[in-house]
Copies of this chain bind each other. A is one copy, B any other.
């Protein structure tokens, strides 16, 4: 009774319990009480399984602010949700970059919502994808950064060569520096987008 849907479900359960290192074809087969080779009747490769997982994950990203809210508010809500979810699925970040969205219905639905919201907000058609890509790049980079160990910027014995940077790391408010950096960058990015749209308003809406 194997199918893409059941395989995806098992993969999500495996990731939940053992993390991404535990997501092996053998582990997946064991979870499904089947021989590893049986999986290859439904998935051409492990990459296929990762594509299914990615689409399932994207289903949970909140693009629901569009188009009711102003585009900038909805964009912030989308970006926050996107980052928080991929911080829990960091190994998927590298997969996204290389994987065409064909056959990933939830992913396509997400992009459609955002694209509609941007168009409604006054963005010209030929800039919509660039805006989405720019925000997504920031979000995925920030998701990776969110998985960094707290001591990532510890310069250690090299401190004498980097006094200014070292002092700056110590001057941070300590609670959640990754989130602070994300919020600072997101606010700046959206502010800059607002300025761009205001400077060159809708040409084709």
Contacts and interface: CB of A to CB of B under 8 A. Distances in A.
A130 interface: yes
A101 interface: yes
19 contacts: A90-B94, A98-B148, A98-B152, A100-B153, A103-B156, A108-B155, A109-B162, A112-B162, A128-B171, A130-B172, A130-B177, A133-B177, A137-B181, A138-B189, A140-B144, A141-B142, A188-B190, A188-B191, A188-B196
Given A94-B93, A127-B184, A154 B191 contact: no
Interface in A128-152: 128-131, 133-142, 144-145, 147-149, 151-152
B188 A154 contact: no
A141 B137 CA distance: 4
